[in-house]
Every structure is written in C-alpha cells, then in structure tokens.
Amino acid sequence: MNAEDSNQRWSVPSGVNWLAGVDEVGRGPLAGEVVTAAVILPAKHTITGLADSKKLTEKRRELLYIEITEQALSWAVGRCSVEEIDRLNILQATLLAMTRAVDELAVRPDFVAVDGNRLPQWSYPSEAVTRGDGRVEVISAASIIAKVTRDREMIAMDSRYPGYGFAEHKGYGSAAHLAALRKLGPTPIHRRSFAPVAALIDQD
C-alpha cells in the first residue's frame, strides 16, 4: 500500500512495536554504489531535528549520524555494487539494497516504512511512503545514515581516483564531473549503463 497524502505526517499502524524506516542514497549518480539504510528507533529516543538528509547541512548530518547509531535499537546498511547496478538496472538494484539492509537488522521489524512509491518484493509487512524522509522519523534517520555513509565513501574515492572531484559532487553528473569524464575517461566505479558514461565508451 502507498501513503497518498505527502503533505501530512504518517501514522504508525496500530500494534506495531518495531518500526523500521528505509531510505536510499545514490540512485542518480554516474559513479559509486547505491547505498540504503534501515533503522529502528526506540519510542522514547532523545534525537531532535530528524529530517530529510538533503535538507540538512553536512555538519548536522554528521552529528545526527552519531546520535542515531548510538540510540537506535538496530540499524544496518545495504548496498549494490556498480556491477549489480549495470546488470540489474538502478531501480532493481536499489530495491535489492533495501532488502539487504532490512535483512541485516538485529531486530526483526513488525513493519517497514520505505521512502518513495515502490516496495521490494519481500515478506515484511510494509508501506511505501511518498516523501517519507520528511514525514516519518525512522525514514529520516535512515536517510541520514545512508547519506553520511555514501558521502564518506565517495570522499575516499576522490583519493583513489584523483581528478574527477568525487569529494565535491559525490558522483553526480555535475558539469565538472562530465568534463573530467571526457578528459580522463571512466573509472572502475563509473556506471557503464548510465547514458553519459555509455556515450563515452561508445565513442572509444
């Protein structure tokens, strides 16, 4: 089922004790893995300011990451590699990464709230919540975990593959990234199924 009204807060289904929130980061970039996170928070956590990770500063995300990982009843990260993205397509790779994240939780959730409008094919009672990263605290927490995790990894890739600017654009198709791609060619972490990368490979 889907939450239709994206302007209102989402209500936890009755009888749910262990609610997991799930979100992804990295569907759009030309490089790097797609990263998802699943989080279960205690009912009486003391974390304030949970919100869509994209609307928070880097410093605020880092501070909230610490609070979430310290207070969560369970949290886990799932991912799909560049090779899996190219083989499966980005949507299916994202759904698989979400499944991996929830499967890694130490506490089995009663219910899973997933940001967006699509659900993985799994056995968990669940709901896709449109704009859930701004409406459901556990999804906000998951978005922060996923965002901080992937950003850190792309910053590390900047040292491994200098000249592309991964620390700045995190693999997204910025003008600087596209210029570097044309000059240097794709790296092993570039998604060859994505049009700008595929076009360069075809030219070669």
Tens digits of per-residue pLDDT, 118-136? Answer: 999 999 999 999 999 999 9
Predicted TM-score (pTM) of the model is: 0.94
- Protein fold of 2-150: Nucleotidyltransferase; domain 5 (3.30.420)
Cα–Cα distance between 163 and 89 in angstroms, integer? Answer: 27
Helical H runs in the chain? 58-71, 82-88, 90-103, 137-160, 166-169, 175-184, 195-203
| pLDDT higher than threshold 80 for residue 113 | yes
Domains of the chain, by residue range, sit at 2-150
Instruction: Look at residue 5 in the predicted model and tell me its pLDDT.
Output: 44
